[in-house]
Amino acid sequence: MRPQEKIQEVRLLKGTPYTRPQEIDLQFDLINHNWDNRPAAQFLKRYNAHARNVLHSIQDIRIGPRNEERLDVFPAPEPGAPILIFVHGGWWRGGTRKDWSFPALGFSPRGYTVVISDYTLCPHVTVPDITQATRAAVVWAYENAEAINGNRDRLFLAGHSAGGQQAAMIAVTDWTRHGIPADAVKGVVPLSAIFDMRVFQSCWLQPFLQLTGDTVQSESALFNIPDRAPPILIMLGEEESIEFHRQAEVFAEAWRERGHRADYFAVPGEDHSTAVFMLGSAESPVCERMAAFFESC
Partner 1 sequence: MTRTAVYVDGGPFMDAVRQMGMSMDMDLMALLKELASDADIVAAHYITAEYPKFPYPAKHRNEKQRLEKFASQGITIHCCQPQIIGSIFVDRGVEALMTTSLIVDAVTGAYETALIVSRRGELSPAIKAVKDLGRTIEVAHFKYDLDPVNPLDAFADKSTVITIDQVIARRISGPKPPALTSI
**189 vs 232: CA distance, rounded Å:** 6
Residues 167 to 206 in contact with partner 1, rule: CB under 8 A: 204
User: Torsion-angle region of residue 257: left (phi > 0), alpha (psi -120 to 50) or beta?
Assistant: alpha
Q: How far is the CB of 205 from partner 1 (least distance, A)?
A: 11
Task: Indicate the residue among 50 and 178 with the shorter CB distance to partner 1.
Answer: 50
Helix, strand, or coil (residue 28): helix
Residue 105 as a binder of partner 1 (CB under 8 A): the answer is yes
Q: How far is the CB of 272 from partner 1 (least distance, A)?
A: 10
153, 281, 288, 289: which one contacts partner 1 (CB under 8 A)? 281
8, 17, 19, 42: which one contacts partner 1 (CB under 8 A)? 42
Q: How far is the CB of 229 from partner 1 (least distance, A)?
A: 29
* Stretch 3-32: interaction string toward partner 1, x if CB under 8 A: -------------------x--xxxxx--x
DSSP state of 175: G
Task: Indicate the residue among 207 and 269 with the shorter CB distance to partner 1.
Answer: 269
Q: Where do the H-state alpha helices sit in 62-212?
A: 103-107, 127-143, 162-171, 206-209
102, 142, 156, 251: which one contacts partner 1 (CB under 8 A)? 102
CB 150 within 8 A of CB 157: no
CB 133 within 8 A of CB 61: no
Residue 78 as a binder of partner 1 (CB under 8 A): the answer is no
The torsion defined by the Cα of 253, 158, 290 and 256, in degrees rounded to 10, comes to 20
Residue 238 as a binder of partner 1 (CB under 8 A): the answer is yes
Residue 86 as a binder of partner 1 (CB under 8 A): the answer is no
Q: How far is the CB of 89 from partner 1 (least distance, A)?
A: 15
Q: How far is the CB of 114 from partner 1 (least distance, A)?
A: 12
Residues 6+ apart with CB under 8 A from 45: none
CB 263 within 8 A of CB 293: yes
Residue 55 as a binder of partner 1 (CB under 8 A): the answer is yes
DSSP state of 203: S
Helices 242-257 & 21-28 angle (0-180, nearest 10):
90
Residues forming the site for partner 1 (CB under 8 A): 22, 25-29, 32-43, 45-47, 50, 54-55, 102, 105-106, 108-109, 204, 238-243, 269-271, 273-274, 277-278, 280-281, 284
